[in-house]
Amino acid sequence: MKLMKLVVMQAVAFLASASFLGAADLYVKAGSSGNGTKDSPFGDLWQAVDSAKRGDIIHVAAGTYNGKGGSGNFTIKTPNLTIVGGYDQNFSARDPFKNLTILERAKDYKGDFTGLGDGIIEGKQGADHGGLVVDGLVLNSASRNSYYDDGKINAKDSWNGALFKTNGKNIKIRNCILINPYGEGIACTWQGTDNEVSNNFILNTFYCAISMRSAQPESVIKVTNNTIAFCWFQPSKGGGMCLFVGSKGKTIMENNIFAFAQTEDGEAGFAVSNTFGNEDTVMKNNVFFLCQGGYYKFMDADKKNLLLWKPEELKQLNAKCDDFMLEKAEGNAEVDPKMMPDKDYYEKFSNFVASKPGKLNMDFMNEWRRSVGLPLQAEPGSPRKNWGMEYPLKKVVPDLVSKLPGKGVQIAGPFQEYKGAAAEAGKPGEPAAKANANVEYKAVEFDTFKKGAPESKAYASAPVSFKAGIGEKKTNFLLKDAPNSDYTCVELTKPGESYPTRNYVYGYILKGTDADKEWEKLSKKKSNINKEGGISVKGKASYIGNESYSYTTAIIIDEIVK
């Protein structure tokens, strides 16, 4: 009875401690050499990304960040991570379109490209990076490209890849500038029902600006208030599209500006592609302007690929959306978004499209030339003389902010605030409290968890500590409190026994935690570590509800120490 009472008291203390757990705030400021606190920030974003734990929030001051070794690559391998840019140098105010937080490859990068992923921000294959929020960053690929002396892109020597690429669940990209990739702007394997692409400039892309081609069933992606412009055809790949709707999932487009999609020989060049005929697509109050291949291409119910490119056809789409393979449609129109592109860039772009006008309203095109001080008529010639030039970052804001109320990117704010546990507790800049810091773990023997042992059920739901060996990762998810979406299942073997063995306990490690990272590090040396006595484990014991196992208790692991 005393044992049971003690265990219950420990379990209550364990559960009470959970209310104090939360995200840590990490800080980054270019040129700093600190340890990630507000008073002593990291000097580069990659340091914070590699140090971050599940649910952490990284605050990044204005500046330029080149990544480890200048590679311009930031690999996300932690779930529920939030990266927030646009802060001033004191982290006292945030304006992502004023305090530019730039991620790019170093212009003098000397490393090779082995192991580098496509993206400037990229989720690591095989690692859980779901729940990622990126807010207020500039991803500029110009330094990953090669340009000829006359300004056009040298495709052969440019980095062919998307700027932002993930395969996690519930991804959010907000208030960013994604610019100058020789490839897509955003290309994700969309999963989950809470994905968001909102209030971003996505500019000067190839193939397509946003790809939903790999969206998974049941996924929902909300695409709102983005300004997507200058989308180029990519030789050998095609495209020239602003947004590519996949065959699965639900894409919701609202209040976006789709402008200046370019094509060659009738290949794509349209604002929105729904050529898979995805009927779960929503288009509301979007602006379409000067898309060389047309505005909306879709496969209808009779499997015909059709194209809308006239203003009156957009009115038909708004009136009867199901004829156009849409769930909802309203307020979509061809309208001049009243922006002011860079003069030199626009001269070359308009010269390019004048060589093959396609389905453009050339009156609009020439009026825009006049508005930026160019001759009224473009000078058609060889398209390749005016192709894929770098768009200057300094000419994005306010130049490409639309004068149409509520359309495209809104730069006035207010912008969302993000706070971790320490900030919420009124202690900004301090590290968050260590998980379960106040829990008292009862030291037990490994065989306490064996079927038939006197204490095996008494310690269920209690915090315990014990010695164990390192086994293999498994797929046996037996606890409702440790689902495979959030946890990794591992074998904890009886100390002193060689692998394989029947004497093991299942352990469950929350992805992205200190324990998760420690397991990954130590498991690479498990043979030597097991010979030396194994590891110390702390966690909550849980009865698995199945007497067929030799060890009827599993452990939700809090801490692993060699």
CATH number at residue 96: 2.160.20
At 534, which CATH number?
2.40.50.140
DSSP letters of 174-190? Answer: ES-EEE--BS-SEEE--
pLDDT at 439: 87
Residue among 135, 37, 139 nearest 94 (CA): 135
Q: Which residue has the tokens 């739901």?
A: 461
The answer to whether position 214 is within a domain reads: yes
pLDDT at 368: 72
pLDDT at 544: 83
pLDDT at 378: 61
Q: Is the pTM of this model over 0.85?
A: yes
The answer to whether position 519 is within a domain reads: yes
- Asked if 508 and 360 sit in the same domain, the reply is no
- Asked if 380 and 449 sit in the same domain, the reply is no
Tens place of pLDDT per residue across the chain (562 aa): 444 444 444 443 343 333 335 689 999 999 999 999 999 999 999 999 999 999 999 999 999 999 999 999 999 999 999 999 999 999 999 999 999 999 999 999 988 878 888 899 999 988 999 999 999 999 999 999 999 998 999 999 999 999 999 999 999 999 999 999 999 999 999 999 999 999 999 999 999 999 999 999 999 999 999 999 999 988 878 888 999 999 999 999 999 999 999 887 667 788 999 999 999 999 999 999 988 889 999 999 999 999 999 999 999 999 999 999 999 999 999 999 999 999 999 988 887 776 665 666 667 777 777 777 777 666 655 555 678 999 999 999 999 999 999 999 999 999 999 988 656 655 555 554 455 667 899 999 999 888 888 777 777 778 999 999 999 999 988 888 899 889 999 999 999 888 788 889 999 999 999 999 999 999 999 988 988 889 999 999 988 877 778 888 899 999 999 8
The answer to whether position 16 is within a domain reads: no
Distance CA 238, CA 515 (A): 45
Which of 348, 378, 400 represents a domain boundary (last residue)?
A: 400
| Residue 360 Cα distances to 50, 278, 294, 346, 457, angstroms | 47, 26, 8, 15, 74
* In 331-485, alpha helices (H): 343-355, 362-371, 421-424
pLDDT at 443: 92
The answer to whether position 178 is within a domain reads: yes
The answer to whether position 384 is within a domain reads: yes
- Asked if 366 and 509 sit in the same domain, the reply is no
Distance CA 378, CA 352 (A): 9
- Asked if 396 and 446 sit in the same domain, the reply is no
The answer to whether position 112 is within a domain reads: yes
- Asked if 327 and 205 sit in the same domain, the reply is yes
- Asked if 252 and 348 sit in the same domain, the reply is yes
- Asked if 233 and 380 sit in the same domain, the reply is yes
Give CA angle at 175 (172, 178), nearest 5°. 90
- Asked if 465 and 368 sit in the same domain, the reply is no
pLDDT at 490: 95
- Asked if 97 and 240 sit in the same domain, the reply is yes
- Asked if 94 and 228 sit in the same domain, the reply is yes
Distance CA 112, CA 358 (A): 41
Distance CA 201, CA 185 (A): 10
Indicate the length of the chain as a whole number. Answer: 562
Which of 349, 383, 400 represents a domain boundary (last residue)?
A: 400
- Asked if 389 and 469 sit in the same domain, the reply is no
- Asked if 132 and 184 sit in the same domain, the reply is yes
Look up the domain containing 57 and give its range.
Answer: 25-400
Phi then psi dihedrals of residue 306, to 5 deg: -120, 160
Q: With the C-alpha atoms ordered 249, 252, 257, 258, is the resulting torsion angle positive or negative? A: positive
The answer to whether position 188 is within a domain reads: yes
Q: How far is CA 417 from the centre of its chain?
A: 18
Number of domains in the chain: 2
The answer to whether position 418 is within a domain reads: no
